Amino acid sequence: MGKINAVITGVGAFLPDYVLTNDELSRMVDTNDEWITTRVGIKERRIEKDPQKPASFLGTKAVENLFERTHTNPDEIELVICATSTPDHIFPATAAYIAENCGIKHALCFDVQAACAGFLTAYTIASNFIESGRKKKVLVVTTEKMSFMVDYTDRATCPLFGDGAGAVLIEGNEEGFGLIDSEMRTDGAGTDYLQMKAGGSAKPASHETVDAHEHFVYQEGKVVFKHAVTNMCATTAEVMERNNLKGEDLRWFIPHQANLRIIEAVGERVAIPSDRVYVNIQKYGNTSSATIPICLWEMQNNGQLKKGDKIVCTTFGAGFTFGAIYIKWGYDTDK
């Protein structure tokens, strides 16, 4: 038996209908389309306005979309890993709600908290279950209702984030397709620069924490920006070197979509031709763990992914958790 790799065999996604534009944001806080476009690269983002529709709703829709595309029977799924920073509840796992909604009855389900690095972390974890032969069909779901923790009175953070979900089906492959390499790391010295200050056991919710807006995303943007560029470059370069890859060998480079300036800086520093760097931040903003699956979903639907394509993905988020993976794409996609 050859080596088993964990290959993506289908991608689904869900984006809420409501489009929050820069112009609408400009009427809410002291900002403007020009600042957001030039400093971040976002034009609009999607928002799930219905308070009755939490992260599990978005994740469920993404899985339904995936199942429809791949004709998957929920009974075949043996493991559900949900990456989210906006869980329905602190406990139990959002993965359990999604599994229940989707009729998945025979799977272990758990959540991963790696913020924006959630997808690459969850895929790396999933690959170990697949490579060992312990699980055969794994779902990785990334779902974020970022709008629930965005302070729409804070111009420094409210233009950045959007809601959305992505889901991938992962199976074993013995022909050399799938996850070839992964370099994921955490620098815990970064915890204070990007976090939700209250609501956990370190600072339980109180009237004071609500009054102080401490249940929203807190970010020191400049510090995060610097660390994002440095660490995404370092891990991408490491993965490319280890696998003898030059920029022009890659069909696609898919970075986490947090800021167009970060994406361009990383792409240039690791010498990837700019037409191979995938960008959709202008449409959806930063959907945290869901950005890379949403890119893959768009690319799949546009027929932009071919069997054997060499792809490097990189990410950076709270923790700081960051890294890069190298995959050989496993199936041809058609429009």
Q: Which residues are catalytic?
A: 116, 256, 286
| Shortest CB 305 distance to ligand UT7, Å | 24
- Regarding 259 and contact with ligand UT7 (CB under 6 A), the answer is yes
| Shortest CB 26 distance to ligand UT7, Å | 8
Q: Which two tokens stand for residue 249?
A: 């060998």
Q: Could you give the string, one character per residue 71-110, with x where binding to ligand UT7 holds by CB under 6 A and - elsewhere? A: ----------------------------------------
Which residue's CB atom is positioned nearest to ligand UT7? 221
Judged by beta carbon, residue 44 or residue 171, the one nearer ligand UT7 is: 44
CA end-to-end distance (rounded Å), the chain: 34
Could you tell me what percentage of the chain is helix, strand and coil, using 3-state DSSP and rounding each to the nearest 5?
Answer: 40, 25, 35
| Shortest CB 242 distance to ligand UT7, Å | 25
Which residues within the stretch 222-241 sit at the binding site for ligand UT7 (CB under 6 A)? 222, 224-225, 228
Q: What is the DSSP string of 3-59?
A: --EEEEEEEEEE--SEEEEHHHHHTTSS--HHHHHHHT--SEEEE---TT--HHHHH
Q: In this structure, how many other beta carbons lie within 10 angstroms of the beta carbon of residue 251?
A: 15
| Shortest CB 185 distance to ligand UT7, Å | 15
| Shortest CB 35 distance to ligand UT7, Å | 4
Q: Which residue has the tokens 């037409």?
A: 275
Q: What is the DSSP string of 158-225?
A: TTTB--EEEEEEEEEESSS-EEEEEEEEE-GGGGGGEEE-SSSTTS---HHHHHTTTTSEEE-HHHHH
- Whole-Å CA distances, 220 to 34, 208, 223, 225: 21, 22, 6, 9
Judged by beta carbon, residue 41 or residue 178, the one nearer ligand UT7 is: 41
- Regarding 159 and contact with ligand UT7 (CB under 6 A), the answer is yes
Judged by beta carbon, residue 139 or residue 281, the one nearer ligand UT7 is: 281
At residue 198, φ and ψ (nearest 5 deg) are -130, 165
With CB under 6 A as the contact rule, the residue among 156, 196, 260, 279 that binds ligand UT7 is 156
- Regarding 297 and contact with ligand UT7 (CB under 6 A), the answer is no
Judge whether 255 and 267 are in contact, CB under 8 Å: yes
| Shortest CB 273 distance to ligand UT7, Å | 23
Judged by beta carbon, residue 96 or residue 194, the one nearer ligand UT7 is: 194
Collapsed DSSP state (helix, strand, coil) of residue 1: coil
| Shortest CB 327 distance to ligand UT7, Å | 21
HEC secondary structure over 103-117: CCCCCEEEEECCHHH
Which residues within the stretch 17-36 sit at the binding site for ligand UT7 (CB under 6 A)? 31, 35-36
- Regarding 195 and contact with ligand UT7 (CB under 6 A), the answer is no
Max CA distance (Å), the chain: 61
Which residues within the stretch 32-71 sit at the binding site for ligand UT7 (CB under 6 A)? 35-36, 39-40
Closest CA to 98 of 67, 127, 129: 67
- Regarding 218 and contact with ligand UT7 (CB under 6 A), the answer is no
- Regarding 324 and contact with ligand UT7 (CB under 6 A), the answer is no
At residue 226, φ and ψ (nearest 5 deg) are -60, -50
- Regarding 152 and contact with ligand UT7 (CB under 6 A), the answer is no
At residue 47, φ and ψ (nearest 5 deg) are -130, 130
What does the binding site for ligand UT7 look like in residue numbers (CB under 6 A)?
31, 35-36, 39-40, 116, 155-156, 159, 221-222, 224-225, 228, 258-259, 262, 286, 316-317
